[in-house]
Amino acid sequence: MSTTARAEEAKQSSKDITASPSIDKDMYRWLEQSCPVCEAPPTVLIGRRGGSAHRQGLGVVCDVWRCATCGLIFPNPMPVPVGGPDQHYGVEADDYFEQHETGDKVESALGFLRQAEALTGGRGRLLDIGAGRGELLRVARDQGWTAVGIETSSTFAAHAARYSGAEIKQQTLEECGFESNSFDVVILAAVLEHLYNPDEIIKEIARILRPGGALFVDVPNEEGLYFRIGNLYQRLRRRDWVVNLSPTFSPFHVFGFGPKSLRALLAKHGLRPKLWRLYSVRTSVPGGGGLTSFLERQASEVVLAVSRLGNLGTFIETWAVKS
pLDDT digits (tens, 9 = 90+) for 144-157: 999 999 998 888 89
Average pLDDT, the chain: 87
Task: Determine phi and psi for 279, rounding to 5 degrees.
Answer: -150, 170
Instruction: Specify the pLDDT at position 174.
Output: 94
Domain ranges of the chain: 2-320
Question: Average of pLDDT values for 202-226?
Answer: 96
- pLDDT category at 17 given cuts 50, 70, 90 is very low
CB-based contact 277:319 (threshold 8 Å): no
Which of 159-163, 276-280, 304-308 is least confident? 304-308
pLDDT, average across residues 296-309: 64
Rounded distance, CA 57 to CA 279, Å? Answer: 29
Q: Return the CATH superfamily for domain 2-320.
A: Vaccinia Virus protein VP39 (3.40.50.150)
Label the pairing between strands 73-75 and 62-66: antiparallel
DSSP states along 70-131: T--EEESSEEEETT-HHHHH-S-HHHHTTT--HHHHHHHHHHHHHHHHHHHTS--EEEEES-
How sure is the predictor about 14, in pLDDT bands with cuts at 50, 70 and 90? very low
Across residues 249-269, what is the average pLDDT?
A: 97
Under 8 Å CB-to-CB from 83, ≥6 apart: which residues? 27, 90
The counts of H helices and E strands in the chain are 11, 12
Q: What pLDDT score was predicted for residue 73?
A: 98
Rounded to whole angstroms, the Cα distance separating 222 from 239 reads 19
Percent of the chain with pLDDT over 70: 80
pTM value surpassing 0.85? yes
pLDDT at 237 over 50: yes
Report which of 246, 235, 211, 205 is spatially closest to residue 322, judged by C-alpha positions.
Answer: 211
Which residues on adjacent β-strands are paired with residue 31? Answer: 78
